[in-house]
Amino acid sequence: MRALCVFNAFRSSVRCWRHRGVTTFRRTPGFCSRRWLTDSTRSVIPGMDEILSRVVAPLPTYETRDKCPPPPESHSVEFMHFYRSLDKDDKRDLLSRLSQDFGVDHKSVSEFAGKLLDTQLRDLATILQVEDRLRYSLTPRYKQLLSHISRVEGGVKFLVDLRADVVEILSSKSSESPHIRDLNGTLKSLLSEWFSVGLLRLERITWQSPCETLQKISQYEAVHPIRNWTDLKRRVGPYRRCYAFTHAAMPGEPLVVLHVALTEDISDNIQSIVREFAAVDQEEDINKINAAIFYSISSTQAGLQGVELGNYLIKKVVRELQSEFPHMERFSSLSPIPGFSSWLQGLLTQYRKEGCGSDLLSEQEWREVEQAIDPAPGASVMDSLRKVVGSSEWMRSEHLSNVLEPVLMRLCAWYLYGEKRRGYALNPVANFHLQNGATMWRINWLADVSPRGAANSCGIMVNYRYFLNETSTNSALYLQNKVINASEQVLGLVSQFQKNSKL
């Protein structure tokens, strides 16, 4: 019966995913999203000014801040309905108007800042009172609306989705308004409080979990797509664990999902995890469970970007697994390396333009590569190499794989260890695990031979090892001093790269 349920869920998953989060309701008269163009402004949305002036209450005075009654719940519901009725462009216009016209009273802030300077020679109690008034004056008017929305049914989910719209506006640069950035910061701060780890619930997903939850787990899997209901059943079955954080304000909605494989040794390829399965009804042999491999972690809510959830989920899961398997001491990820292939293509292009290919590969390696790829007449070896590594065809040739292995492994090691953004690892997955205190432990050749693995990272994956007695120290060294803790294998590959390259 459950198999049929999940099968039907899979059949409708694409349609459900495409329309997820769309709410149908009867529009209030006047709430029309039609656009009226003028010479001086791109659009005016009928009803926008009216609804904003009604639902965004003036900020109470400092003296009455705790005595003002809350606005009617209907105001929050009305705003939510109005916002959902708008198209993408009109939503951007509304958020711009909300953030600009209903933000901080800058005149009041300037006055209190001046008063604070004037009170520096006064007694401490006076200074603290003026500081508190200044702090209160820095509250944007729309913050009250956001707080009231969070208290109505479905309000927290609405705000998570609203922030996803704000993040998209900023990332697409469709608006350069500093007020939008300030709105994003306010939303992120509120969501960080509401989704603090103490308010989250760790839930293990099993085949007995509700069908709706299982369907969402399959939809949200962003690292190694789930192919069908049998695949899903095995990923929550023997020698596998699936955990998710949930929140009381968003029932039935997993926030971040972690898939774990229970193995004898630390896995060096993903095929052994997602392709080679134990029987779905097989009993687990505790003697064959010595390691926990975190092979996929997916955030499900774009609006929670920047709100720390994944690192806390890993820590909670480690404690959960230690409780279930007291003898377990090996914890490691088996992580993809998104961005390596595109970085490599850029590097090869740069070296070709500068004519310094000898700094990338030795003469012997160039000869071996040329013989293995057999470039077309008139084509340079560098261009042929770029074309070869840009596809997955080379993986089918054992000889070509053997020739490319030492080259790509040391290039990948440098990309993970040496390429930085503001002093931290450029690769986002590396940065995530290093912030958590993991060690860059082992780079694995042909660990993911799927089309996605070939396209993203030439089939290479990496283990980030969690030595539990070292994670706090490693995390502090990385966050404060930008020090990456790496194994001898990784450092050896980095050293090989540095001997050849002038980077």
Side chain identity, residue 393:
E
Cβ pair 61, 67 in contact under 8 A: no
Other C-beta atoms lying within 10 Å of the C-beta of residue 344? 20
Residue 346 to residue 285: CA distance in whole angstroms: 47
Q: Name, in order, each residue with C-beta under 8 angstroms of 174's C-beta and a sequence gap of 6 or more.
A: 92
What are the beta bridge partners of residue 294?
260, 333
Instruction: Tell how strand 330-333 and strand 256-263 pair up.
Output: unpaired
**Residue with tokens 């931290």, as numbered in its chain:** 424
Nearest CA-CA partner of 204 in 157, 251, 260: 260
Residue 192 to residue 186: CA distance in whole angstroms: 10
Instruction: Tell how strand 291-299 and strand 330-333 pair up.
Output: parallel
Catalytic residues: 335, 433
Cβ pair 425, 419 in contact under 8 A: yes
Other C-beta atoms lying within 10 Å of the C-beta of residue 395? 16
Q: What share of the chain is helix, strand, coil (3-state, %, to 5)?
A: 55, 10, 35
Q: How far is CA 502 from CA 189, 358, 419, in A?
A: 43, 10, 13
**Three-class SS string for 262-300?**
EECCCCCCCHHHHCCCCCCCCCCCHHHCCEEEEEEEEEC
Side chain identity, residue 492:
G
Cβ pair 137, 115 in contact under 8 A: no
Q: Name, in order, each residue with C-beta under 8 angstroms of 38's C-beta and a sequence gap of 6 or more.
A: 44
Nearest CA-CA partner of 468 in 318, 265, 324: 318
**Residue with tokens 């790269």, as numbered in its chain:** 497
Task: Please tell me the total number of residues recorded for the chain in this structure.
Answer: 503
H-helix segments, 294-339:
310-324
**Three-class SS string for 71-99?**
CCHHHHHHHHHHHHCCCHHHHHHHHHHHH
Per-residue DSSP letter, 486: B
Cβ pair 138, 108 in contact under 8 A: no
